[in-house]
Structure 1
Amino acid sequence: MKRWIRDGDVVIGRLDRQEAAVVRGLVSQIQDMLLARAEEAPQDELAELTGIRTGPSEAPDDPILGRLLPDFHRLDDDAPDPDEVNSAAALRSLHEPELLDHKTGAAEIVLQTCSPDGGEIRLSLGEAEAWLASLNDVRLALGTALDVTEDMPDELPPEDPRSPHLGVYHWLTWVQDTLVEAMMR
């Protein structure tokens, strides 16, 4: 991939077939995880009547989903106040459906605009924002799975099973960075 460029209100990039497969595969996996989480939402008759949806009140058990869907209210780890626990659960229940819609919608835009065959990608500024959001989600998920820390070296020994995936993580970081730079021009 070459750097993203901006031409007026259009952001242009180019992915080869393999790069497109990586982006599409990872974005699809994240979208599937998020859609499965959305299916966990409680069925509520009042929500069906009012159109106000609620989501799960408990944080996801999966560390990747936990990173993508963090608590809306941080609790004191040592001795959480029961009222804070209740407010955190209520905030999650109220806001998680909208967050899931945003994240799955951004993923869908990436999948619609990134051809499986690769090639030129022409994005409106809104589509480019969706790409940024989706790439960020993929990087958060991959970083969590690889246990990426600030102290981690740029390269791992070849025998480390995380080594090839860390290269993908760094490449996605570069793709995201150049997209940000293009949008700021």
Structure 2
Amino acid sequence: MGRRARAGYFEPVPGGGAAIALDTVEISILRSLAVQLLELVGPGEQPAGADDDPLAGLFTEGPSKPPDDPALARLFPDAYEESEEAAEFRRFTENDLRARKREDALAMVRVLDSGGPVLKLAPGEARQWLGGLNDLRLTIGTRLEVTEDENDELYHLDDSDPRKPLVMAYLWLGGLQESLVEALTG
């Protein structure tokens, strides 16, 4: 990262990874969003006794039905059309996917708590941040009912519209995600 880093944009660092300069408000917002994501993802449905025996936890089956919450359903989509295969796949993969999403969000919180204003991400942390930023955007996009058709209405909301803060967060997270990808691949 050069001496004059552009605030709010990830830049590559020697040896891989990335760094970004954020102010205290941006750090606070990102941390709050990551913690909310942790709360949303939660531990999932855990069978009784799964915490007692670590070996049993490896063979624990997860849920077989998609979550009712649309944001969770977006984070944990069916791998197949509604079918027995989808239920079977979900049962054996969702717990691991939840754990990975929790680890990604926790990695964000740890880095954000490490102090600033320049946050440095090791290569592994950068990958976790990509996952966490993506999950945050998917969650907010689902709450805003963003579709692939990109609804231009969201970009021209009146300041009094209650969706405006979510739209601003959605767009900001997209910019962070894009600059992180550029820093890692550029």
TM bucket normalised to smaller: 0.7 to 0.9
Count of residues in correspondence between the two structures: 174
Query: Do the aligned partners of 1:12 and 1:121 also contact (CA within 8 Å) in 2?
Result: yes
**2:58 alignment counterpart:** 51
**Structure 1 equivalent of residue 8 of structure 2:** 2
Alpha-carbon separation, structure 1, partners of 2:105 and 2:23 = 19
Distance, in Å, in 2 between the alignment partners of 1:14 and 1:53 is 41
Deviates further, 4-13 or 166-175: 4-13
Give the structure 2 partner of residue 184 of structure 1.
185
Residue 66 (str. 1) matches residue 67 (str. 2): no
Mark the CA change 1:13 to 1:88 in structure 2 (over 3 Å): closer, same or farther: same
* Counterpart mapping for 1:131-170 below 5 A: 131-149=129-147, 150-153=150-153, 154-170=155-171
8 Å Cα contact 1:60-1:66 kept in structure 2: yes
- Find the aligned partners of 1:140 and 1:170 in 2 and give their Cα distance: 12
1:66 aligned counterpart, secondary structure: helix
Q: Which runs of 5+ in 2 are unaligned?
A: 1-6
Task: Pick from 28, 31, 36 the counterpart of residue 35 of structure 2.
Answer: 28
Superposed CA deviations along residues 31-62 of structure 1, whole A, max 9, x for unmatched, are 111124x2x23337899647312111111000
Preserved CA contact (<8 Å) 1:18 1:118: no
TM-aligned CA deviation for residue 116 of structure 1: 7.5
**Does the 8 Å contact 2:17/2:125 carry over to 1?**
no
Which letter maps to 1:115?
D
Matched, 1:41 2:46: yes
SS of residue paired to 1:105:
helix
**Which residue type is aligned with residue 42 of structure 1?**
P
1:159–1:55 Cα change, 3 Å: same
Alpha-carbon contact 1:31-1:107 (below 8 Å) kept: yes
Q: Could you tell me how far 1:147 is from its partner in structure 2?
A: 1.3
**Percentage identity across aligned positions?**
33
The residue type equivalent to 1:90 in the other structure is E
Instruction: Using structure 1 for the length normalisation, give the TM-score.
Output: 0.85
SS in structure 2 of the partner of residue 114 of structure 1: helix
CA positional deviation for 1:119: 1.3
Instruction: Report the Cα offset of residue 90 of structure 1.
Output: 1.1
Which amino acid letter does the alignment assign opposite residue 111 of structure 2?
A: T
Unaligned runs of 5+ in 1: 76-84
Among residues 93, 98, 101, which one is paired with 2:99 in the alignment? 101
- TM-score for both structures, normalised by structure 2: 0.85
Aligned 8 A contact 1:110 1:134 in 2 = yes
